Amino acid sequence: MVRSSRRRFACAASLLALTVAAPALAQTGGAEPAQLDEIVVTGSQVRLPGAAAGGQVATGGRVGLFGNLDAMDTPFASTSYTEKLVRDQQSRSIGDVLQNDPVVRVSKGFGNFQELYVIRGFPVYSDDMTYNGLYGVLPRQFVAAELVERVEVFHGATAFLNGAAPGGSGVGGAFNLVPKRAGSQPLTRLTAGVSGHDEIYAAADLARRFGQDDEWGARLNLVSRDGEGSVEGEDGQLRVVGLGLDRRGDRARFSADLGWQDHRIDAPRPTVTPAGAIRPRRRPTSTSPSPGPTPTRNSCSAPRAASST
């Protein structure tokens, strides 16, 4: 009987506590919620990532349809070389820039003087590079380094991001060239130099912004190189004109690139590819400075035009 009475008393006390606590819970639930300040998050997949320490390598690059991402947010290895590296190393072509990457080897095409890039043991034709994410708008065989703002290198298969290369290469990696754009500050850069025997080089890089809030921009690049370089008897000529236009609007962005390149080489030295065992031969009696066949002439002239919105 005593135990039964104790149980009844405990149940009654629990019901009384719940009855008293119910109004308190109702009062707490009826209070006004706390007001939080407005949070605005803005971002752009068009704006280029900043440069890392030293300015020669960027902190990120374009990742196909995902736009520009930081290198730490990219699910594969990538490296983006900046315009500062191109100027510091006085690079002539995209191949000179790519030789900074330890997994990229630069070679020549079969039967011509096209630049061929080998990454992770797989070739990437110069025709299969993208220009601001687009295929088929770059000059063939040779691309002058003065035309680009960034040279982005992707290691590994990237067809699911950039699409399949038209030439069927790009299994081991891909390369994307970022065009130059006018910055916030006006730019006037003139460059001149002499190299080799009598090769003369001159270039101009001009950039301006105009319009309301500087929404319109234009960047013009002019390049001329002519004369005999470091190889005796090999004369080269290079003419480049590049114009980049862009508009930075509040609701839409527009960009267009127009360019023309004429690259000629007279009496170049071809590549020599050994096939099988090499037997010792007598010293050649020819006085030609080239170890290959009779020097020939190779030229390439290619206009390009690209636009994106």
Place of tokens 């067809």: 159
CA distance between the termini of the chain:
88
Pairing of strands 253-266, 130-131: unpaired
pLDDT of residue 53: 92
Residue 9 has pLDDT above 60, yes or no: no
Q: What is the mean pLDDT of the chain?
A: 81
pLDDT in the model for residue 234:
86
Lowest mean pLDDT among 116-120, 218-222, 293-297: 293-297
Neighbouring residues of 70: CB distance < 8 A, sequence distance ≥ 6:
49, 59, 60
* Residue bearing the bigger pLDDT, 104 or 292: 104
Cα distances (angstroms) measured from residue 141 to each of 114, 117, 160, 245: 4, 11, 26, 25
Tell me how far apart the alpha carbons of residues 292 and 113 are, in angstroms, rounded to a whole number.
14
- Do you know the residue count of the chain? 309
pLDDT at residue 185, as a whole number? 93
- Residue 43 pLDDT grade (very low, low, confident, very high; cuts 50, 70, 90): very low
Q: What is the mean pLDDT of residues 271-284?
A: 63
Mean pLDDT within 36-48: 67
Record the pTM. Answer: 0.75
Which strands make up the sheet holding 253-266, listed edge to edge?
187-195, 199-210, 216-228, 235-248, 253-266, 297-308
**Contact status, residue 94 vs residue 125, Cβ threshold 8 Å:** no
H/E stretch holding 255 = strand 253-266
Q: How far apart are CA 54 and CA 209, in angstroms?
A: 27
pLDDT given for residue 54 in this prediction: 92
* Average confidence (pLDDT) over 105-129: 85
Using pLDDT thresholds of 50, 70 and 90, give the confidence band for residue 2. very low
The continuous run of DSSP H or E covering 248 comes out as: strand 235-248
Pick from 241, 238, 243: nearest CA to 265: 238
In the prediction, which pLDDT does 95 show? Answer: 93
Residue 10 confidence (pLDDT):
53
* Mean pLDDT of all residues in 80-101: 95
Alpha helices in 89-227 (DSSP H): 94-98, 159-162
In which residue are the tokens 């399949």 written? 164
Q: For 190-240, what is each residue's pLDDT tens digit?
A: 999 998 888 999 999 999 999 988 999 999 999 999 999 888 888 999 999
Average pLDDT over residues 270-285: 64
Label residue 162 by pLDDT band (50, 70, 90).
confident
